[in-house]
Chain A
Amino acid sequence: MTMQSQKDTICAISTAQGMGAIAVIRLSGQESIAISEKLFVPAKEGKQLANEKANTIHFGSISDGDKDIDEVLISIFKAPHSFTGEEVVEIACHGAPYIQQQILQLLTKHGARLAAAGEFTQRAFLNGKMDLSQAEAVADLIASRSEAARRVALQQMRGGFSNELINLRTQLLNFISLIELELDFSEEDVEFANRDELTKLVDEIQALLKKLTNSFSLGNAIKNGIPVAIVGHTNAGKSTLLNTLLQEDKAIVSDIHGTTRDVIEDTINIEGISFRFIDTAGIRATKDEIETLGIERTYDKISKATIVLLMLDVNDPDKKIHEAISDIKKRLNDYQQLIVVINKTDLADASIIKQRFAIDSFHELSSTDTIVPISAKQQLNIDVLTNALLKTVNLSAIDNDEVIVTNVRHYEALQKSYEAILRVSEGLSNGISGDFLAQDIREVLHFLGEITGHINTDEVLGNIFKNFCIGK
């Protein structure tokens, strides 16, 4: 992008693509008002947008010469008190894509340029309306697909965890200057940096970094949806459950064993949390090549899931049920949670179900695992299942505004800082010489600085504005 293009007036459709009741087209730049004036016919005769105050709305129509295109509302925002810090005009028109395109074409005909992806936010950044980490969070905010993701993004936009990091980084910076002083005046053999205090600080930083890096798996899950794998014997009703949860027929359902041969994903929102459900082919010994492939993929999906739903048939014999549970438990890690779903309860006696599937009788399960009897077909007990799903997510962390890392760039920098601070910690206990301590501390400072914005890297910018869509 050249310097010149920064002076252009840009325009774009700022609402979602496709048909809606209304759509908003946004302009930003010195000529925004003048250009709008050329195609706007105010309802009140003689009104001139240029003479109107900031933050006002005006009714009228957009016309191309003598051809009226639509009736619109025009909002005026003036520099520097606008989103981008420039003169901004927002045209609210009717939602037909044809109308939107017509207006956009008119605007470009009169001197506006189509905005590039993220260019509005970029201008807001260049005009000092937000800093880079805020711009980064704006991208996340716009892309957030659930309440939890929105909350985490918002928290980051308000400064998030960087304040705490800045504080620790500053303390570490003080220490390193003392160590550097020791090094450069080593002829006098002095120790300025109190090693005990330094060790304490390093421990503190280490603990924080660990907490932050650990929060990433949750953060990432919140951002992209928590992966839930549905597995079980063929014909246990996995696809039916999925359909019940999705309230639509996406998976193929039939009574023939092994119908679902592919892995199908869909995201559903339960009380503000996204869950990414992965329906899998059933697991059973087979000679069918296609099905064997499907089963391999099932195991692969299990390894990537945070929650595994094991679907079993209420009428399966005890032996089969216990085998299935211990078989799946063998494949799970400590952090993966298992929910055993006993399906088709409509086909069995309620009191027997209660007795047979009491959690105590399943020594294979750990304390965090649960058993939920349901009927996917009759939609019985589905709310118990969704509650069980919600319980597995550490909602308290989000509720208490605890810091959750969602950004991959931050995560990588945190990991590298963590590795380096571990070396500092080791070095301190082994009593290594100051120059090596200094090198590791410098590395910690560097990577923390990448997060707090004290260190410039070209990667940051490259990613941020690219992740926006046009009109943002």
Chain B
Amino acid sequence: MDFKYDVIVVGGGHAGCEAAAAAANLGSKVLLITMDMGRFAQMSCNPAIGGVAKGQIVREIDALGGYTGIITDKSSIQFRMLNRSKGPAMWSPRAQCDRMVFSSEWRIQLEKIPNVFFWQDSVVEFIFQDNIIKGVRTSNNVEFLSEAVVLTTGTFLNGLMHIGSVTSEGGRVSEPASKGLSEQLLSRGFTVGRMKTGTPVRIDERSINFDKLDEQKGDGHDYRFSYLPSPDNGLRKRSCFITYTNPEVHKVLETGLDESPMYNGTIQSIGPRYCPSIETKIVTFSERERHQLFLEPEGETTIEYYLNGFSSSLPLKTQIDALKLVPGLEEVKVFRPGYAIEYDFFEPTQLKHTLETKKISNLFFAGQINGTTGYEEAAAQGLIAGINAHQKINNKTDFTLSRDEAYIGVLIDDLVTKGVDEPYRMFTSRAEFRILLRQDDADSRLSPKSFAIGLASQKRIDHLNEKIDKRNQIIEFLKEFSVKPALINSWLEYMGTAPLKQGVKLIDIISRPQINIYDLLDGIKPFAEFIEKLNMARKDEILESTEIILKYSGYINRERLLADKFKRLENLNIVNKFDYKSIKSLSTEARQKLDSIQPETIGQASRISGVSPSDINVLLVLMGR
């Protein structure tokens, strides 16, 4: 048994698992400390990965060599590409997962990495030497030393759960909270805040009347989250179901508001605005007569359903009485009620872009502890923190992503620059250059960069190169292949697009909005034969990627131009250039904010709230621009 490691990761959630795997795969000897080795990467809320913006993040994690995408593919019981009717930047993969398989697959994956070691316990104290972290002490009074520590405690720091007027300490239902660490960091000058989140009831399939619900199946495409090809996981595919609340339901819910900790003042912390509890919805949107409820199966075989849209901390009786008035749930039996949880988070402006804390060297924070919400956001931070913990202790360069490079770059820059005033989740609108951050090309954006530091495997790069090569061959074919009006016009008219007056190259046909690349496969036989001959393992992925490049190049190129312009301010380094407090021409608020955040570039400074464009002009003038 060793008591000395390169990197210690505290917490085995989505952030902790990615952090441990990344640091270990880069070569660090990693100790992963978790309270319960049976619950790695728990899906504490809904049993799904991805969705709008979040799906893109998972593709990025995968492209960088993380595991969330792979594990999702192994545990997926339904896959959908959301927003197919919109532009390619909005296409967002989402999968329902078997919650139990997801967790066990993570454990299998971690156990395969020789450099990852485990310890089941709760960390109660940090060991510091001056302003450098040196290790941790656990509740069993065991001391582990390390060069770096990644803290990923999720909702466990001083977690407090609420169901009606009943409160209990804990990080999740039936799991103890983690105490002592916040207080120790507080004494070191860290700013600690409180946040709230919630989760809905879990209900019994056998008590649901499915005849009254709308079924929603997967979209039938054979997609994967991972860019590494894998066979179907063999799990039975399952449907989700949709039902709605109604005014009678709302009336019952209102009777419980007095006892709702959200409304009687027990919970003071801020919850996520965009993922409101059902009681918040009926109060805030009182004019709406119904709210959508979405039933998600918790696994391949289980009878447990997650009732998305009904997050609540109302008393158990109110929750059940209201549910019974929902069509299809008249006979509902619940496994456990919804609850709200309050937890400590650390103001993320105390972090660098590497997720290392500014106050304590070699201490990294990742996940919900930074005020975010969502498995995907947590996993992404874990990956970046794990990589940088390894880089730091080996005197290697920081690994950071920019805002025009990855949603992960947007995520971390937002956190460390703007801070959070409510649980942070990713939206596509947070990215200035959405069309550059598509799910179809996270591999070409990120894999080479990760390969360069030794994380993404050669196999990934081979697959990427193959994709690019095949894509180029297809484009070449489309450019060369001529079509004659006589042969193609009847088909074009059938497809609802204008007939040709003279022969054109096939590439001109694919740029028409009415024609997609699958239509071309159906309608142009030589093209179908050519694609057949290419013999591609990831045929759909490569075809769609080709189509996006051909159809949307105008948008992509314009966005690139703006992004490059934006980069010019991003490249103006201002670390240690200014004593902000002494610059009288800055507004008072700008002076304080700049001084406390110490932005790395002019671009970052311009995104700090309270720093106006004229403040930025002052800095630019002082720099002699």
Interface residues of A (CB under 8 A from B): 1-3, 6, 122, 125-128, 131-132, 177, 180-181, 183-188, 433-436, 438-439, 442-443, 446, 453-458, 460-462, 465
Contact = CB atoms under 8 A, between A and B. Distances in A.
A6 B613 contact: no
Interface centre among B87, B89, B427 (most CB of A within 10 A): B87
A461 B613 contact: no
B559 A439 contact: yes
B562 interface: yes
Nearest to B584: A127
B585 to A, nearest CB: 4
Contacts of A177: 429
A182 B374 CA distance: 20
B614 A132 contact: yes
B585 A456 contact: no
Contacts of A183: 52, 86, 90, 428-429
A183 B621 CA distance: 38
A122 B52 contact: no
A435 B427 contact: no
A456 B606 contact: yes
A186 B572 contact: no
Contact of B572 (A181, A438, A458): A458
Contact of B562 (A131, A187, A443): A443
Contact of A461 (B51, B274, B432, B621): B621
Of A180, A181, A461, chain B has the most CB atoms within 10 Å of the CB of A461
A186 B90 contact: yes
A458 B625 contact: yes
Contacts of A188: 292
Given A186-B83, A453-B614, A458 B569 contact: yes
B7 to A, nearest CB: 35
A127 B622 CA distance: 12
A310 B17 CA distance: 83
B145 interface: no
Interface string B83-96: 10111011000000
B621 A122 contact: yes
A233 B133 CA distance: 90
Given A439-B559, A457-B569, A461-B620, 20 more contacts: A126-B618, A180-B428, A184-B52, A185-B274, A186-B90, A187-B52, A433-B86, A433-B87, A435-B435, A436-B87, A438-B429, A438-B434, A439-B558, A443-B558, A455-B613, A457-B568, A458-B625, A461-B617, A461-B621, A462-B625
Given A180-B429, A188-B292, A3 B613 contact: no
B335 interface: no
Contacts of B579: 3
Given A128-B585, A186-B52, A456 B616 contact: yes
Given A132-B614, A439-B559, A443-B558, A461 B429 contact: no
Contacts of B501: none
Interface of B: 51-53, 82-83, 85-87, 89-90, 274, 292, 427-429, 432, 434-435, 555, 558-559, 562, 565, 568-569, 572, 578-579, 584-585, 602, 606, 613-614, 616-618, 620-625
Given A186-B52, A186-B86, A462-B625, A3 B578 contact: yes
Contacts, number: 102
Contacts of A462: 625
A435 B52 contact: no
Contact of B622 (A126, A187, A439): A126
Contacts of A439: 434-435, 555, 558-559
Contacts of A128: 585
Contact of A458 (B90, B568, B585): B568
A184 B86 CA distance: 12
A157 to B, nearest CB: 16
Contacts of A6: 622
Nearest to A3: B622
B585 A184 contact: no
A178 to B, nearest CB: 11
Contact of A456 (B429, B558, B569, B622): B569
B618 A456 contact: no
Contacts of A186: 52, 82-83, 86, 90
Contacts of B558: 439, 443
19 contacts: A3-B579, A177-B429, A180-B428, A183-B86, A183-B429, A186-B86, A187-B51, A435-B86, A436-B87, A438-B429, A439-B555, A442-B432, A443-B558, A453-B613, A454-B613, A456-B617, A457-B569, A458-B620, A465-B621
B614 A461 contact: no
Nearest to B83: A186
Contact of B617 (A1, A132, A185): A132
Given A433-B90, A443-B558, A1 B427 contact: no
Contacts of B432: 442
Nearest to A80: B584
Nearest to A132: B617
A185 B429 CA distance: 11
A125 B625 contact: no
Given A126-B585, A127-B585, A184 B555 contact: no
Contacts of B616: 456
Contacts of B613: 453-456
A181 B53 CA distance: 13
B428 A184 contact: yes
Given A126-B618, A456-B606, A434 B428 contact: no
Contacts of A436: 87, 555
A461 B625 contact: yes
B562 A184 contact: no
Contacts of B87: 433, 435-436
Contact of B427 (A127, A180, A446, A455): A180
A462 B568 CA distance: 13
B268 to A, nearest CB: 27
A6 to B, nearest CB: 7
Contacts of B565: 457
A462 B565 CA distance: 15
Contacts of B559: 439
B555 A131 contact: no
Contacts of B85: 433
Most buried by B among A184, A438, A443, A453: A184
Q: Which of B53, B432, B565, B606 has the most CB of A within 10 A?
A: B565
B231 to A, nearest CB: 29
Contact of A435 (B82, B89, B569): B89
Nearest to A452: B613
Contacts of A457: 565, 568-569
B78 to A, nearest CB: 14
A126 B572 CA distance: 19
A181 B562 CA distance: 23
A3 B585 CA distance: 12
B620 A456 contact: yes
3 smallest beta-carbon distances between A and B, as pairs? A180-B429, A1-B624, A433-B86
B613 to A, nearest CB: 5
A439 B435 CA distance: 8
A423 to B, nearest CB: 9
Contacts of A127: 584-585
Nearest to A131: B614
A409 to B, nearest CB: 14
Contacts of A438: 429, 434
- Most chain-B CB neighbours within 10 Å: which of A3, A183, A455? A183
A187 B82 contact: yes
A170 to B, nearest CB: 15
A454 B611 CA distance: 11
A433 B513 CA distance: 12
A180 B584 CA distance: 38
A184 B429 CA distance: 7
A443 B274 CA distance: 27
A192 B623 CA distance: 43
Contacts of B620: 456, 458, 461
Given A180-B429, A184-B427, A439-B434, A446 B90 contact: no
